[in-house]
Amino acid sequence: MQNLRTLPQIDKILNHKPFKDYNKGILARISRELLNSIRSNLKDEEINEEKIYTQINKNYKAFEKKALKPLINATGIVMHTNLGRSVIDEKSWQRAKQIACSYSNLEYDLESGSRGNRYDYTGYLLSTLFGCEDALVVNNNASAVFLVLNTFGKGGRCVISRGELVEIGGGFRVPEVMKESGAILAEVGTTNKTRLSDYENALDENTKMLVKVHRSNFDIVGFKQDTSLEEIAKLAKERGIISYYDLGGGAASSLACFNSEPVPQKLIKTGVDLLSFSGDKLFGSVQAGIILGKKELIAKLRKNQLLRMLRSDKITLALLASTVLSYLDKDYNSVPTVFLLSRSTSELKSVAKRINNSCKNIASIIDTATFGGGGTLPNVKIKSVALAFKAKKGQKIENLEREFRQKGVIGRIENQCFLLDLRSVLPSDESALITAINSIFGGQDE
C-alpha cells in the first residue's frame, strides 16, 4: 500500500526541472488533480514519485494538444468552419496590432476632444464599398439576424418562406434565432415553391417585416419557384413594412468562382431595406456580422440596447477596416480567401510540382474538384489540383490520414488515396507542408 506521506508536495512538482517551461497554474491544477485521485483511489499498486512525474507529464501534453494552434488546410475547402473559416493577411494583422497594443480613438473624437462613435469609421468604409447609405458591424451574422429582427420585428409577424428555414452548421437554426428575437415567424409557401402571392396573402396589420434567407448550404433543384428579392422589397415598400435579407456569406467582389453567389453591391440596388452577412465567409475577413441598409434604419439598430451585447471589439473593427480598404484598392490578393478561391489550376499545378519535386516526387498530381465551404456556394464545384498519396505498404489509407493530421496537416481521402488539395493551401504553408511530407515518407524508399 502506498504511503500517502511519500507523495510529493505541489511545490516540489512545480520546481521539478523537466517542468520548468510548463505553465505554473496549469501544472499546479494537473498535479493537484492527480494527487487527489491517487489519495481517493488507493490500490495495491506501487506508486512512486517517478510514476507520478511521468503521469503529470502525460496529462500536461494532453492539455497542450487542446490549445489553439495553426494547421495546414489541405482539405481544399477554403472557408472551412471547423478550421477557423477565413484567414487574416499579414498586413491587416500588423495594422490591427497597432490598435490592439496601444490606446486608440475607438470612441473618442479627436476633432472635438469628446466622445466619439465606434461604428462611424467602419460604417463609412462599408457604405463606400457596397454603395449603401450606412452600415453596422456586430459580433457575427447570427447577431445581425437577431438584432435586426429584435429591432424591427419584435412582437409582430415576420413573413418568411418555408423553403428558407435553414439549419446551418453546428445545429444552428436560423428560424430558432429569429424566434428568440421576439419576432413571430409567419411561414408561407411550401418547401419548393413560394410565390409573391403567398407573401401578399400573409400580410395583416400586425406584419412588420418580410424576411428572406439565403439557402447557404443547400440548393433546391427541379420543380421550384422563388420570389425574388426585388419583388419582396417592392411589396414591403408598398405596404410600409421592412424588407430584410439574411445573405449568409457575402462576396465583396464578383470574381469568376463567385458567379452564382449574390453580391451585396447588386442586392442593395433591389431596394431591400436591410441585408446582413458574415465577415468571415466569402468576405474573407474576421468574424463579424455586417449589416447594410438605409441610414435611418441603421440608426435605429444603433439605438437598440442589445447592441451593447453584440458589439464588436476594436481588434475586429481594425481587421475588418483593413479588409475593406484592400477591396477599395482592388488589392484582392491581400484577402487570402479571395486569393485562394481565384487561383488558376495552372498556378496550382506549378505549386504541386514545386512541392512534389522537394519530396522525391512521391505523390502523383491529379485534377480534382472541391467546394467553397462556410455555408456558401453549395452547388458550385471549384476546380482544383491535389497531391495524391497511396497508403504505405501493408497499411490502411486512414493511417496515412492520421499521420498527416498528427503533424497538423488536414487533407482528405478519396478513391483510396490521401489527397492534399492545394486550393486551400496558403503560400506561406508550402515549406511546412514539404517538411511534413518528407518526415512522413522520409524513411521509405520510393
Ligand X SMILES: *Cc1c(COP(=O)(O)O)cnc(C)c1O
Contact at 8 Å (CB) between 140 and 177? no
Q: Judged by CB under 6 A, which of 96, 126, 135, 213 binds ligand X?
A: 213
For residue 75, state whether it binds ligand X (rule: CB under 6 A): no
Contacting range for ligand X; rule: CB under 6 A; set: 29-37, 103-111, 140-148, 413-421: 140-148
User: Using CB under 6 A as the criterion, what x/- string covers residues 393-412 for binding ligand X?
Assistant: --------------------
E strand or H helix at 148, and its extent?
A: helix 141-152
Site for ligand X in 167-206 (CB under 6 A): 168, 174
Site for ligand X in 226-265 (CB under 6 A): 246, 248-249
- Closest residue to ligand X, based on beta-carbon distance: 248
200 vs 313, beta carbon nearer ligand X? 313
For residue 142, state whether it binds ligand X (rule: CB under 6 A): yes
377 vs 386, beta carbon nearer ligand X? 377
Contact at 8 Å (CB) between 388 and 419? yes
Burial classification of residue 177, based on how many CB atoms lie within 10 Å of its CB (0-12 exposed, 13-18 middle, 19 or more buried): middle
The CA–CA distances, whole Å, from 264 to 89, 130, 293 equal: 23, 6, 11
Q: How far is the CB of 219 from ligand X (least distance, A)?
A: 13
Instruction: Give 381-414 as a DSSP string.
Output: -EEEEEEEEPPPTT--HHHHHHHHHHTTEE-EEE
Spell out where 257-403 has E strands: 274-278, 289-293, 364-370, 382-389
142 vs 257, beta carbon nearer ligand X? 142
From 269, 365, 302, 264, select the one nearest 138 (Cα to Cα): 302
At 306, the amino acid letter reads L
Cα(184)–Cα(242) distance, integer angstroms: 14
Q: Judged by CB under 6 A, which of 31, 122, 181, 216 binds ligand X?
A: 216
Cα(408)–Cα(288) distance, integer angstroms: 27
Q: How far is the CB of 437 from ligand X (least distance, A)?
A: 33
For residue 312, state whether it binds ligand X (rule: CB under 6 A): no
153 vs 375, beta carbon nearer ligand X? 375
Q: How far is the CB of 374 from ligand X (least distance, A)?
A: 7
Q: How far is the CB of 139 from ligand X (least distance, A)?
A: 8
Residues that bind ligand X (CB under 6 A): 140-142, 145, 166, 168, 174, 213-214, 216, 246, 248-249, 278, 289, 375
